[in-house]
Every structure is written in C-alpha cells, then in structure tokens.
Amino acid sequence: MIVRHSGGSYRISFAQRSELAALADVCSAIVTDRNVRGALDMCWPSLPTYVLTPGEVSKSLRTYGEAIEWLAAQGLRRNDRLAVIGGGVVGDLGGFVAASYLRGIDYVQVPTSLLAMVDSSIGGKVGIDLAAGKNLAGAFHPPVEVLIPFDALETLPSRHRRNGLAEIWKYAFIADPMLAGRIESEGASQSVVHRCIEIKQEIVEADEFETTGARATLNFGHTIGHAIEAALGYEELLHGEAISIGMVLESDLGEAIGATQSGVANAVRECLQAAGLPTKLPDVPVDTLIEFMRRDKKRSTANLAFSLLTRIGECKLVTEVDEAAVRAVLERR
Ligand SMILES: NC(=O)c1ccc[n+]([C@@H]2O[C@H](COP(=O)([O-])OP(=O)(O)OC[C@H]3O[C@@H](n4cnc5c(N)ncnc54)[C@H](O)[C@@H]3O)[C@@H](O)[C@H]2O)c1
Ligand SMILES: [Zn+2]
C-alpha cells in the first residue's frame, strides 16, 4: 500500500519481526520502549537505541526533551534516518522528535501494537501531551516508510490486543459493513488489519490536514471517548476501551437526534461486547464529561460536534448537536 501526501508518498508493508535487523542498513538510531525492546530482543537491529518508559507518561515534554538531546548527542545529521519501533506512544513521541530534530529528519514507523498498526502509524500525525491536555503539541510529519512486523503481536498483552480491536471495529462501523463479518470470523487477522489500513489511507489522503471533515469521521466514538479518558485521568481505561463506550453512546445519541438509523446502537453494542470491550459509562459525573467535550478540537461553534454513524458503514460529521441531547444520553447510563 502507498499513502500519498503533499510532500510525497510512503509505502506500508508487512514483514516478519526477524526482518527488523535489516533496519540497521537504512537507519542510524532507534526510539522504542522497554517492553518492545525486550519482546523483540532476538531480532533487534544493532543501532544506538533510546529506550522509553512504557506508557502514556512518556508522551511528555520532558521525555521529548531527553530523547531529542539524545539524538543530538548521537550526532545524527539531516540525512540520517530514525527507526521508531513500538506502539502509538513510541510512534507519536519518536515521530515528533523526528519532525523537529534539525527541523525534521526522515523516520520509519515500525508499529508493534495492534492500535499502532491500524491507526497511529498511518497519517503522519505525531505529537506529545501537555499538562493542559492530550496531544496538544505536535506536527504533521509523515514517515518515509511504515513497516509492520505482524508477528510481533504474539507478545502483545491481551488487553492491548482488545484495545486495538476497538479501532478495528470502528473502521467497520464508519466505512465497511462487510468488514464486520470478517472481524467476527477472523479476529485481528493480517488481512483484516490490511483492510483497516486501506480505509485509513483513503481517509487521510482525502483530508491530509484535517480541513475537509473527511478525517473527522475517524473520530467516531472519540468525542465521548476522549471525555471519558480525560475525566478518568487516563488511568483506568485504555483508549480503545474508552472509545468502545464512546461508540455505543454516540450511536445512542445519533438515534436520539435522528441522525442514525434505529437499531444501529444495539448492533454496535453487541459487536463490542462480544469482543470483550466495555460498553457502559463508568462512574463519572455527566457535568465533567460535558465540560471536556466543550474543549474538543473538532468543535468550531457554541454547540458540540460529533462524527455520527448514519448507518453501519457510513459516518458523517454533525457539528450542531444540542448539549441537552448529549446530556440526556449520558444520564441514561
Ligand atoms: N498519531 C495518531 O494518529 C494516533 C492515532 C491513535 C492513537 N494515537 C496514540 O497512540 C497511543 C496509544 O497507542 P498504543 O495503544 O499502541 O499504546 P502504547 O504505545 O503504550 O502500547 C501499549 C503497550 O503495549 C506494549 N507493546 C507494544 N507493542 C508490543 C509488543 N509487540 N509486544 C509486547 N508489548 C508491546 C507497550 O510497551 C505498551 O505497554 C496514544 O498515546 C494515542 O494518543 C495516535
Ligand atoms: Zn482512537
């Protein structure tokens, strides 16, 4: 698969983890995290490696500063290439380091979590969190290549597997009803992952800088999901778990305001429940959730904005959603 963008294009391909050692021929340094470094020890490219503490805590200004200073200390130059091997945290942090070191150097995304394979490694969005909120500093800096070591998923903990499955279901819901049946029979197979990447590729090519609304459809379940994550302090639930709940509630909302065909919310709920994902709102005050939604980046007017399903397989951005309707759905629990 090839993704085209304003500055060129990049190839996305599948590989075996044993092929990663060959990155030593084309890259000069690696950013990763401790879990990934340990899990892929046998095939690690012999290159200087910056190893992050696993988890969202590493998407910070502090880690960013340490990592970029480390690159400078390695003497990396403009034409050197960075390999970013890990989940979405490593991809976002490492990609942002590549975007800003010497005003931008080339990097290869090597996603090792399911979520990173189907989502965060594609589209060129990189960044870090600020104290004021998640992903508030960042850049559009597409990789020069995405290399997916599919068999690396063998060591991914099952909770993180389910986490990625939530985004996989999202692709079926927003763009491809046929994919739903395949997920049910095959789970997160390589061909299912391939299809998800195709869908994301099409969407990001149509809306590289998030200006036309097409890319916003990827945010189905995310307005409420992000609010849940923020309200819980990003600890109790993983991103995919929060958006699983968000997808169910945003389908309820869509049905309530007449944007979503009736019956969709139940279908969404059943698919996600069967995948072992949570679908019920945790115990957080509705006012807190509404407050976080008011700060949402998609919002451009006084009302709230949601990417809502019209039916299974189709999604559109609805920008003028009355807060009272959202409140009513959240209060139903
Ligand atoms: N840039 C984007 O477009 C985009 C899109 C979606 C999400 N994101 C970001 O992605 C991040 C979440 O990504 P994530 O869920 O991959 O989190 P993560 O990077 O924290 O990875 C999840 C866990 O799995 C471990 N891990 C990863 N691969 C492994 C493997 N093969 N074997 C064993 N352990 C492995 C990691 O060490 C970590 O503990 C969030 O920060 C989110 O904001 C970015
Ligand atoms: Zn997401």
Residue 50: which residues within 8 A CB-CB, separation 6 or more? 29, 30, 31, 32, 67, 70, 71
Cα(308)–Cα(247) distance, rounded to whole angstroms? 9
Rounded CA separation 171/320 (Å): 24
pLDDT for the residue numbered 320: 87
Catalytic residue among 141, 226, 298, 316: 226
Indicate if 250 belongs to the active site: no
Compute, in angstroms, the gap from residue 274 CA to the centroid of ligand 1. 23
Question: 33 CA distance to ligand 1 centroid (A)?
Answer: 10
| Chain-centre distance for alpha carbon 288 | 24
Q: Whose CA is nearest to atom 16 of ligand 1?
A: 87
**Which residue's CA is minimally distant from atom 33 of ligand 1?**
156
Length of the chain: 333
CA-CA distances (angstroms) from residue 174 to 169, 241, 247, 307, 319? 9, 17, 10, 9, 17
Q: How far is the CA of 86 from the centre of ligand 1 (A)?
A: 7
The residue type of 21 is A
Please tell me the distance from the alpha carbon of residue 248 to that of residue 245, in angstroms, as a whole number: 5
Longest dimension (CA), the chain: 59
- 208 within 8 A of 23, measured Cβ to Cβ: no
Q: Is 90 in the pocket of ligand 1 (CB under 6 A)?
A: yes
Ligand nearest to the CA of 225: 2
Structure tokens at 184: 């049910």
Q: What SS3 state is found at 311?
A: strand
The Cα–Cα gap between 58 and 241 comes to: 20
Catalytic residue among 81, 239, 298, 316: 239
Q: Which two tokens stand for residue 162?
A: 């389910």
Ligand 1: does its nearest atom lie under 6 Å from the Cβ of 250?
no
The CB of 156 under 6 Å from ligand 1? The reply is yes
Distance (angstroms) between ligand 2 centre and the Cα of 270 equals 20
Query: What residue owns the CA closest to ligand 1's atom 6?
Result: 120
Which of 135, 210, 297, 303 is an active site residue? 210
Tell me the CA–centroid distance for residue 311 and ligand 1, in Å.
Answer: 29
Q: Is 298 a catalytic residue?
A: no
Q: What is the pLDDT of residue 131?
A: 86
| Ligand showing the shortest atom-to-Cα distance for residue 160 | 1
User: Which of 31, 120, 208 for mutating ligand 1's site (highest number of atoms within 8 Å of CB)?
Assistant: 120
* pLDDT value at residue 209: 87
Write down the pLDDT at residue 46: 97
DSSP letters for 219-255: GTTHHHHHHHHHHTTTTSS-HHHHHHHHHHHHHHHHH
Query: What is the mean pLDDT for each group of 10 consecutive residues in the chain (333 residues)?
Result: 91 97 98 98 96 96 98 97 98 98 98 97 95 90 98 98 98 97 96 97 88 87 94 90 98 97 97 97 95 74 86 93 94 84
266 labelled catalytic: no
**Cα gap 220→333, rounded to integer Å:** 19
Q: Which of 79, 103, 154, 235 is catalytic?
A: 103
Cβ–ligand 1 distance for 225 under 6 Å, the answer: no
Note the pTM of the prediction, 2 decimals.
0.95
User: Is 160 designated active site?
Assistant: no
* 215 carries an active-site annotation: yes
The yes-or-no answer on residue 134 being catalytic is: no
- 122/103 Cα distance (integer angstroms): 21
Of the residues 17, 59, 195, 200, only one is catalytic, namely 200
What's the confidence (pLDDT) of residue 302? 67
